[in-house]
A and B are shown apart, each in its own frame.
Chain A
């Protein structure tokens, strides 16, 4: 039996693995896709101490190699469930089952979808969730961003340097994102803000050709012709598979304080899927350190 299983190989999970190995505990990291998590989409990290500039993928590779070098084991299998069995936890993947004394949930979050018909089908055919990844395809084209938080504002700013015209569609009459970003955006001549409105339909002909936008206040419907639609309406935690084991808040985040203890003894949580006020690389890695340290304490108490 293993000491610790970490679910998720993002910055939080891999840091947990480093701390577990430094405490001489055996650790297996299970990951559905590839190491790195959400941060691999970031072309340039400028706010993590030590390096002024590093790409998210290079950062992840360094952390992965560090954890591997310390003896952490990685397997690329999707976790489908966890159950408790006689003082241990059985973590099930599609093909295998692994046993450990303690589990750290570091599953992160995924892009929130609008939930519109054909959204999935048009992803990559005009619909995108990553302006920095796909913005280059829309040079001198017409695009729209949906959302009102910081990501939406930053995406709209970024795209306004590339695209001919940028619509920003927001369901409220003011932004939740930072004032400075909002102010900079208002100054851009090629940005049009569509307030109090929801995207209610995706129009397509093999690829996205436009959107239908409905004004929430007066109910008016408008069609906007587009080449690209960037969806930035937040993220949702990936905790659905563990809802029967640990308490989640109404938004689906695992309820735990700074000590990363969940409602289930022996299960800890680290990173973006935990209830917290600041979701950043540095707070994710901090959680990883804390969760592993607490998991080791728990194992020592058995």
Chain B
């Protein structure tokens, strides 16, 4: 029997062939293609196909499935984006195109949180009259219960763990499934039905982002909680409610929630009559249906596959219905500071890197934008910064003289050998690793390349310090998108020594720099966002000055929007189209 990987690769090849042949035929039969007057990339910065048309069925499709539909048990951006159609939390991302979409705005809360006690206490006042799908009113205790649930990591293990890490529970708290008395949970207090107070262990200035980026403050009525199975029928507070149960690996249907009041919710619309999700559809099949207009959204939001990409970019009518935004990821190369401890050796790698070849490996102009800072452009307050030992120039091929000088200072004038890993099922990463291998070979730095499947790569190889040490991995390909679009959301996981974990480690450099660590310790208490951004930019520069990260490209995705999709725009907070405001015509 053939392995799934072989089958998938071959299948992709066949689809390229098949669709390529189709494309050769002309392209007048694209169904949903062309004709709405929109231009290429228009949806990256503005709302396309603006319409208040109500009715129709909005169809989403995905090759796999959500990790859960329990808003508290989701971490991936597309799931967090999708659950906004039925769940509301204290704060949420602003539903606006452009960088405005990166900002947190009140959702269930009347206003952003009020910090007191040196940013250790955060208070939110709830809007009145927000109801569940059964008509009962949302109360503060429901939010307290929702937050308490996140403490039971055996039940909710997919979602973020910020609350267990940040809240002061006065000892050990196991969550409401094991401790039925909610009064025992001291991390959140509710002085009245409309006030929620969070008590933190220490100051944390970006708490609005913590309560807003995920669905963990979406209220849960305790009587309707079904534990690990809550994701099969989460109770709605948003414009749509689930019809029956969601069937994992198959899908579900949402219908209008008549108890949702648009007057309390400026961030969502209720345009389609129904929203359907179909799971388990092949990615290439989704692309075909997008072009035919029979599916409106590819749920993961990471862009079309190789075959459709070629088809879209070579057909003006299809291209006019596509967007090519910066997706929020930065594909970069972490240099492991434990296995290459000498900074001069790391600098030699950065100096010798052929940025032009690496840029082309990611698809050139459509694939990404050459990067300077580690923080991508969507991060609030991010500055482009200055290049260290390299140039963010698509034609820059490296500086071999400087690289050799660094090698001499490193004590290895004859070069050295190290190991580099990449995700073997990602052709762009493989091409990047090969481009780097060739450019480093010119200064006698030998890279031994080894690929690993993406299913285990970030947990068991690049994200596992034990593996990195055992296999002596010097470099890897990597990409990171922030939990929320501030310097903290982006940089802290990838550079703070406290963020190093045994599996799923994002600080793949294993950077333990006293300056960086101190800045992380201090910045969490700084209340002025502009001042914090300044420190984040300093951290960004310091990481590159330490040659711990070789910047590569800010990722761009190619998204297709069928002509029957309305109110569509790229959302900077989620790195894909905003799913909570879409409509459908025809």
Partners in one complex: no
